[in-house]
Amino acid sequence: MQCPSCGADTIKYGKDRNGNQRYQCRECGRTVTDVPANPIAPMRIGFDRAVLVLSLLTEGMSIRAAERVSGHHRDTIMRLLVIAGGKCERLLDELVQGVEVDDVEADELWSFLNMKQSTKTKRGLSDEVEAGDFYTFLAQERESKLILTHHTGRRNWNNTEVFVSKLERATDGPFQLTTDGWDGYPYAVIQHLGHRVDYAQLIKEFGQDAEGQRRYSPPRIIGTERRYITRFPDPDRVCTSHVERLNLDVRMSCRRFTRLTNAFSRKLADHKAAVAVFAAVHNFVKMHRSIRMTPGMKAGITRRPWTVADLLAA
């Protein structure tokens, strides 16, 4: 290390109370401390403790459960989640772009902020308020299990177009796309991807179950309809089962998506951060049982499994 005052060489001069190496200049005698950059600045929580907290959250723990286990205040945990979510969002935008894919499935996952839509309507709140139903759009590659892109917002045409535009940037080359029957998809797909996708919709028809069964379990599927929108989709590959299985992973790994609890999100920024962290952990950290590697490795983006520490330090 060079002296910042005179530029002369320095020698080691012990360590400070935090364990950082100190140096002393040979010429002017000035002492300087080599403080490593904090990847989670401006937070003062230790990096190892931050990794522990984030690992607890990605395993499906709630904020208060992570607070009890780690000993850190819930406000500290929330601030850490927002910082980690921003890191993961930028990392996904940088690494998952121009990926060559063959078969992509897309779906929307329901959740709500602060209150359900029926309660919001009863209280007469406007759509600008961060409350009511919100949907997380997810696009997954069928073979590699890679989450290509995600987007959280209202289930309307504007957010659908934003989601499809993100999918356009994340993929490269021709591929087949399957979605559910949401009316916002056809126009957005034709607008952004119509020149290079074989696009079909899989529309499921549900039966009417008894009230007691319908409340806590999904309705019974009585039929499906395939609707071919652009080019020539392969009927045998028109499927949304894999991305619907991904929805289960989201609800199991991200506590705020668990139904019939009080762990729902209160702020949209926190909700988006949690989704970004889940997507990054799914793509680069967790080993997928069917492919025996991480989705990022299967897609050729990374060469080894990452850790939560790697995500925080990236």
- Look up the CATH number of the domain holding residue 270: 3.30.420.10
pLDDT surpasses 70 at 216:
no
pLDDT surpasses 90 at 303:
yes
pLDDT for 211 equals 55
Same domain membership, residue 58 and residue 10: no
CA dist 245 and 247 (Å) reads 5
Same domain membership, residue 67 and residue 30: no
Tokens coding 117: 């839509």
Q: How is 117-136 classified by DSSP, letter by letter? A: HHHHHHTT--TTSS-EEEEE
pLDDT surpasses 90 at 305:
yes
Beta strand spans in the chain (E): 10-15, 21-25, 31-33, 99-100, 103-113, 132-141, 147-153, 171-172, 175-179, 197-206, 221-230
> Lowest mean pLDDT: which of 14-23, 59-68, 227-236?
14-23
Same domain membership, residue 147 and residue 181: yes
Same domain membership, residue 210 and residue 146: yes
Choose among 143, 151, 161: nearest CA to 100: 143
Q: 109: which strand partners?
A: 136
Residue 231 φ/ψ, nearest 5 degrees: 55, -135
Same domain membership, residue 180 and residue 142: yes
Same domain membership, residue 10 and residue 134: no
220 versus 130: the higher-pLDDT residue is 130
Judge whether 41 lies within some domain: no
Same domain membership, residue 117 and residue 24: no
Confidence class of residue 101 from pLDDT cuts 50, 70 and 90?
very high
Judge whether 31 lies within some domain: yes
The model's pLDDT over 143-194, given as tens digits with 9 standing for 90+, comes to 999 999 999 999 999 999 999 999 999 999 999 999 998 899 999 999 999 8
Domain that holds residue 16: 1-36
Same domain membership, residue 111 and residue 22: no
The model's pLDDT over 225-259, given as tens digits with 9 standing for 90+, comes to 788 988 888 999 999 999 999 999 999 999 999 98
pLDDT surpasses 60 at 214:
no
Same domain membership, residue 10 and residue 144: no
Judge whether 85 lies within some domain: yes
Mean local confidence (pLDDT), 102-131 = 90
Q: 2: which strand partners?
A: 9
Same domain membership, residue 20 and residue 86: no
Domain count, the chain: 2
Contacts of 3 (CB under 8 A, 6+ apart): 9, 10, 25, 27, 28, 30, 32
> Lowest mean pLDDT: which of 102-116, 214-228, 235-249, 268-282?
214-228
Mean local confidence (pLDDT), 56-83 = 94
pLDDT for 70 equals 93
pLDDT for 165 equals 95
Judge whether 293 lies within some domain: yes
Quickly count: other Cβ atoms within 10 Å of residue 23's Cβ. Answer: 19
Judge whether 155 lies within some domain: yes
pLDDT surpasses 80 at 109:
yes
Judge whether 42 lies within some domain: no
pLDDT for 226 equals 85
Q: β-strands 197-206, 221-230: how paired?
A: antiparallel
Same domain membership, residue 273 and residue 190: yes
Judge whether 97 lies within some domain: yes
> For the chain, what is the mean pLDDT?
89
Same domain membership, residue 58 and residue 31: no
pLDDT for 213 equals 54
